A and B are shown apart, each in its own frame.
Chain A
Amino acid sequence: MQPPDKLLFTPVQRIRIWYFLLLFVCSVFVVRLFYLQVIRHDYYKSAALTSQLKQYEIPAERGIIEVQNGKERVPIVLNEMRYTLVADPKMIKDPAKAARLIRETIGGDAGEYETKMKLDTRYSILAKKLSRQQKEDVSRLEIPGVITAEAPQRTYPQGTLAAQLLGFVDDEGQGRYGLEQALNDKLKGQNGQLKAITDARGVPLAANDENILKEPEHGEGIVLTIDLGMQQQLEDILKQGVEHAKSNSGGAIIMDARTGGIKAVANYPTYNPAEFFRVESKDISVFENKIVSSPLEVGSVMKPLTMAAALDQGVVNRNSSFHDQGYFKIDGATITNVEESGGSGQRSLNDILQLSLNTGATWLLMQMGGGEINEQARTAWHDYMVNHYRLGKPTGVEQGYEGAGTIPDPSEGYGLNIRFANSAFGQGMTATPLQMAAAISSVVNGGTYYRPHLVERTIAADGRETVKKPEVVSPNVVSSKASKDLKEIMEYAFSKNYRAYGGMPKLRNEFSIGGKTGTAEIANPEGGYYTDRYNGLFMGFVGGNEVEYVIVVRVDEPKIAGYAGTKAAGPIFVSIVNTLIDNFGVTPKK
């Protein structure tokens, strides 16, 4: 036994000392808890919310796009749910193993996955556009730090049909080119918002006072004026025609002359909007709807417009004629005709279009100036180009990147007279095929300029449909008399020339078919014009008692022998007319 006096404290004293220390520490803890939980509560509450409260966009569903198919409507752009595979590199413990598992499940490059899983970020996209099946397979791996995110994607039940017209939607959900770009805001709708307390992975927890929900407003659906069948036929015809003409590219448009509604727009070559990302950067011009976006010197297809302007002003009439010496000298430059025009002689209005006389177009312009090209002539013609035919400014069609074209100013600059003389037959000015279609449409339909448009109606998210009425921009582009005269002259020109285009063995007299070729010179950026390159154009119409469709065709730099307008664009026009008559019920004359 230990003598008690050797012990500084007895065991009971010792346990009491010990216990007192324990109580002391506990009371320190309680004080600390009071500090954290009561005094600093607000600070920690907001600190916790900073990580817990997350804001989400609830994506609005993008509107679908439909086209006409006879009396029905069929979808041409739909949405499909796809998935993006995302990694949070901070949460991945073994990137090599995770990468291998992912490659075994959805394919791809394990090395690339691994690199992406080692990035110094918390959001690294591993793969895009996974199918639902792939997404489920990856989710089943249960790799911590690898999640899938919904990414709706456009699908195209009609494949490449009308690709440039439609445009596409990029990875950020923005419409690019065509309709998707022009109507992006309408189609896109308004994303909703969810502010919610979530778990660490971002899954919102059950109802909470802090949660805020704003429902998304889904995008509007759009029904186009485009006719599925016409579009398909037009694309086929254009492709054959462009290839036949040994050209690299071309385009064509069919517009309803009675409404301004565009029935079909084709561009060649084309691309697959579902795989827009496969288009190489040197080829991105394939995205453009060049009918709308790319102005060009239109050449002789301008002549009907010049003539209509002269007729409308009353400076010439249906029976006017002039003595053509074969050339005009203006401002020291000489305007000549093509060799086949038959030299000098007395020429009627019919002759001017049939023979495509540059001197004739110049003569028409002179009549606007009282016999010579002067300021009065220039101003009058400029007024017609800009204010009647609405050239030089965008039409307002629902397309991205619409081109405006350029029209020379009547009083500014030098060589104005020769420039305006040139513009009378479509050189020294530019316009898009769409502008030309809208202008000729207004000339041959009796004088009403309808705004060219693609949207027939919109469908709100709740299913409510709003029909878009054709918009009359100007009711009297030209008088009905001028309209009737010009229509006849164009019919005459076609009836004289159609054999040269091929494709129509016998003139289809029961229909009203008019047209004008254009073989447009191409400006050389280094000055002057190329001597060996031309664009082939054709501008015409088909109908019965009234004009139903106007058609504009362009074939870029065809290599086929003969005039580009006649040999490259003409056959395409004839094929289109045949198709419209045979398959799409153009009403015959009564």
Chain B
Amino acid sequence: MNTKRRSVLIDQPMQRRHRPDYILVLLSLVLLSIGLIVVYAISPGLSAQKGVEANYYASKQIIAVALGLVAFFITAQLPLKSLRTIQKPLIVLAVVASVLVQLFGQEVNGASRWLQIGGISFQAVELIKFALLIWMASFLTQRHKEGELGSQAKTIKPMLIAVGICSFVVAVVQSDLGSAGVIVAMMGSMAFVAGLPMKKVLMFAAIIALGTFLAIASSPYRRERLAIFMNPEQDCQNVGYQACQALSAVGSGGLFGKGIGGSVQAYGYLPESANDSIFAIFAEMSGFLGTSVLIGLFIALFSRLKAIIEKAPDTRTRLLVTGILAWLSTQALINIGAMIGLLPLKGITLPFVSYGGTSIIFVTAAIGLVFNASRYTTYGVNSMALTEGKRYDDPADRRGNRRTHYATVSRRP
């Protein structure tokens, strides 16, 4: 027992638990609440358009958040090591879900992304992202340990193949370029932070750029969207409709917004008011003040993740949280960027805020993992020292306060 424990300690020296990052949880809850409030406020309008009961959307969102909290508690308690064991089943599940979506999926705007299971619609891409995140973290950790991170054959090739397959499935088969972008950003960021040689990083970037270009050029639907993005107001009545309505919603919010119940654009003008376009509705309700606060909240959340990455106890944790940060941040930026006319429209959700159970459950599950990891961060000792050949407990890294640095964990993540 003792020897086993010791070996574990050598392998993963920071296994001592300390107080986790409650601010992270608090920020997540605030973001979830903003989403709930917006969905609640526009629920009557959405329901009227669809002819369902007035609180249909609000009550579904409450259920989604409740399920999200359950997911959070599960992943927050899950031993991080066990991720390795669920990695394979997750990949199998993701593949099955992709196939099912292709066979029975609901088609929306020429893209089949949704799977109806009973009364619940499930977005397969969320599972794909999550499975890929877990796999990439282990894969890169493995290669890192082996010192093969820069290896063409052992690292770059399998990674490119994985990215290629996943983005092909998501972007081409499911026609979801936004999510493909998130996947690429997530994997790229993980590889980058893992320590991929800069040459490879640049090569990687070039491949992504080429892939994006091909993806856009290959589909008339995307070419059209890009053209509209360049000049949305030219065709406000047809293809540019959503972009124009989104800008109208954001712009008409003004400095202080129209108030929580004040959104008009949600009443059938702005498509996907509750999901993809929820940022624009929020902007209409809360004005520049509200949008700045929302972006501030996201930055605050991301800064917590960044701090955890910096002080991650081991490579796996570091890469896992990096992947989550990259996922959440690129997804948020792609979503918001489209709403404010800086990026072409992509059908992806704003993490935490958008209506939709699948998105919320996976996002909260990811936050659970981060919360979990925040219990094991190191202080004082730069955990990255490991990669620089230093021992984790080199006294030189101590502050010289003669205390063990584990004793002061209570105030930090």
Residues of A within 8 A of B (CB): 1-4, 6-12, 14-16, 18-19, 22-23, 25-26, 28-30, 32-34, 36-38, 40-41, 43-45, 47-49, 51-52, 142, 197-201, 203, 205
Known: A10-B384, A44-B247. A28 touches B342 (CB 8 A): yes
Distance of A47 Cα from B241 Cα, bound (Å): 12
Give the distance to chain A from B68, nearest Cβ to Cβ, in Å: 24
Q: Give the residue among B251, B264, B292 with the most A Cβ atoms within 10 A.
A: B251
- Whether a CB of chain A sits under 8 angstroms from the CB of B206 is no
Residues of chain A contacted by B326 (CB below 8 angstroms): 18
Q: Is B255 an interface residue (CB 8 A)?
A: yes
Cβ of B248 < 8 Å from any Cβ of A? yes
In the complex, which residues 29-64 of chain B have their Cβ closer than 8 Å to any Cβ of chain A?
A: 45, 48-49, 51
B322 interface contact, C-beta 8 A: yes
The answer to whether A15 and B306 have CB atoms under 8 Å apart is yes
B149 at the A interface (CB under 8 A): yes
Residue B26 CB within 8 A of the other chain:
no
Given the interface pairs A29-B342, A47-B248, A205-B264, the reply to whether A38 lies near B192 with Cβ below 8 Å is: no
The 6 closest A-B pairs by CB, nearest first: A44-B251, A200-B268, A199-B267, A37-B288, A48-B248, A48-B252
Do B340 and A33 have beta carbons less than 8 Å apart? yes
Beyond A30-B295, A201-B268, is A7–B195 a contact (Cβ under 8 Å)?
A: yes
Are A1 and B147 closer than 8 Å at their CB atoms?
yes
Nearest neighbor of A20 in chain B, beta-carbon distance = B306
Can you sample 27 A-B contacts with CB below 8 Å? A2-B144, A4-B389, A10-B384, A11-B193, A11-B195, A11-B318, A11-B387, A15-B322, A19-B306, A22-B333, A26-B298, A30-B291, A36-B340, A37-B254, A37-B288, A38-B254, A41-B255, A44-B250, A44-B251, A45-B252, A47-B252, A48-B269, A198-B267, A199-B45, A199-B49, A199-B268, A203-B48
Q: B147-162 vs A: 1/0 string, CB under 8 Å?
A: 1011000000000000
User: How far, in whole Å, are A25 and B309 apart by their CA atoms in the complex?
Assistant: 20
Assess the A52–B269 pair: CB atoms within 8 A: yes
Q: Per-residue CB proximity of B162-199 to A under 8 Å, as 1/0?
A: 00000000000000000000000000010011110110
* Complex contact A37–B250 (CB within 8 A): yes
Q: Enumerate chain B residues within 8 angstroms of A37, measured Cβ to Cβ.
A: 250-251, 253-255, 283, 287-288, 291
Taking A15-B306, A51-B269, A205-B267 as known contacts, 9 extra A-B pairs with beta carbons closer than 8 A to each other, sorted by chain A number, are A1-B389, A7-B195, A25-B333, A34-B288, A44-B252, A47-B247, A52-B269, A200-B267, A200-B268
B: interface residue count bin: 35 or more
Of A12, A38, A47, A199, the contact of B384 (CB 8 Å cutoff): A12
B8 at the interface (CB under 8 A from A): no
User: What is the bound-complex CA distance between A503 and B337, given in angstroms?
Assistant: 94
B194 to chain A: closest residue by CB: A11
For residue B359, give the distance in angstroms from its CB to the closest CB of chain A: 20
Residues of chain B within 8 A of A22, CB atoms compared: 299, 302, 329, 333
Q: Is B272 part of the contact surface with A, judged by Cβ < 8 Å?
A: no
Q: A15-B193, A15-B310 are in contact. Are A41 and B387 (CB under 8 A)?
A: no
A45 touching B149, Cβ below 8 Å: no
- Does the CB pair B248–A18 fall under 8 Å? no
Q: How far is the CA of A43 from the CA of B384 in the complex (A)?
A: 51
Residues in chain B near residue A16, CB distance under 8 A: 306, 310
Number of residue pairs spanning A and B whose beta carbons lie under 8 angstroms apart = 152
Distance (whole angstroms) from the CB of A43 to the closest CB of chain B: 7
Q: Given A28-B342, A201-B49, A36–B195 Cβ distance below 8 Å?
A: no
- A261 to B63 alpha-carbon distance, docked (Å): 75
Please tell me if the beta carbons of B389 and A29 are within 8 angstroms of each other in the complex: no
Q: B337 touching A200 by the CB < 8 A rule?
A: no
**Which residues of chain A are near B310, meaning CB under 8 Å?**
12, 15-16
Q: Is there contact, CB below 8 Å, between A18 and B251?
A: no
Question: Bound complex: CA of A197 vs CA of B268, how far in Å?
Answer: 12
CA gap between A32 and B384 in the complex, in Å: 37
What is the interface of chain B, defined by CB distance below 8 A to chain A? 45, 48-49, 51, 144, 147, 149-150, 189, 192-195, 197-198, 244, 247-255, 264-265, 267-269, 283, 287-288, 291-292, 295, 298-299, 302-303, 306, 309-310, 318, 322, 326, 329, 333, 336-337, 340-342, 382, 384, 387-389
Q: How far is the CB of B132 from chain A (nearest CB, A)?
A: 18
Residues on the A chain within 8 Å of B303, using CB: 19
Cβ contact within 8 Å between A44 and B322 = no
Known A12-B384, A15-B310, A33-B291; contact A200-B149, beta-carbon cutoff 8 A: no
Contact of B249 with A33 in the complex, beta carbons under 8 Å: no
CA distance A38 to B268 in the complex (A): 25
| Distance between Cα atoms of A1 and B309 in the complex (Å) | 20
What residue in chain B is nearest A142 (Cβ atoms)? B51
Supposing A11-B195, A19-B306, A22-B329 touch, asked if A29 and B295 sit within 8 A by C-beta, the answer is yes
B193 with A18: CB separation less than 8 A: yes
Contact B387 A36 (CB under 8 A): no
Contact B49 A29 (CB under 8 A): no
The answer to whether B387 touches A47, judged by C-beta atoms less than 8 angstroms apart, is no
Contacts of A33 in B (CB 8 A): 250, 283, 288, 291-292, 295, 340
Quick one: which of B194, B264, B302 has the most chain A CB within 10 A?
B264
Complex formed: what's the CA distance from A504 to B409 in Å?
Answer: 124
Q: Which residues of B contact A41 (CB under 8 A)?
A: 251-255
- What B residues does A19 contact at CB under 8 A? 302-303, 306
Q: How far is the CA of A40 from the CA of B283 in the complex (A)?
A: 14
Q: Which residues of A contact B249 (CB under 8 A)?
A: 48
B residues in contact with A142, CB < 8 Å:
51
Residues of B within 8 A of A15 (CB): 193, 306, 309-310, 322
Residues of A within 8 A of B322 (CB): 15, 18
**B283–A200 contact, CB under 8 A?**
no
The answer to whether B268 touches A12, judged by C-beta atoms less than 8 angstroms apart, is no
List the A side residues contacting B267 at CB < 8 Å: 198-200, 205
Identify the closest chain B residue to A198 (Cβ). B267
Question: How many angstroms between the C-alpha atoms of A142 and B52 in the bound complex?
Answer: 12
Q: How far is the CA of A112 from the CA of B254 in the complex (A)?
A: 47
With CB as the reference atom, state the residue of chain A lying closest to B310.
A12
The distance from the CB of B150 to the nearest CB of chain A, in whole angstroms, is 8
Name which residue of chain B comes closest to A41, CB basis: B254
Q: Which residues of A contact B287 (CB under 8 A)?
A: 37
- B340: which A residues are within 8 A, CB to CB? 29, 32-33, 36
- Whether A52 contacts B264 in the complex (CB less than 8 A), given A36-B247, A44-B252, comes out as yes
Complex-state Cα separation, A329 to B37, whole angstroms: 103
Q: Hey, which chain A residues are within 8 Å of B252, CB to CB?
A: 41, 44-45, 47-49
Q: How far is the CA of A3 from the CA of B197 in the complex (A)?
A: 12
> Given A8-B198, A22-B302, A29-B340 in contact, is the A200-B255 Cβ separation under 8 Å?
no
Report whether A44 and B49 are in contact in the complex, using a CB–CB cutoff of 8 Å.
no
Alpha-carbon distance between A45 and B247 when the two chains are bound, in angstroms: 10
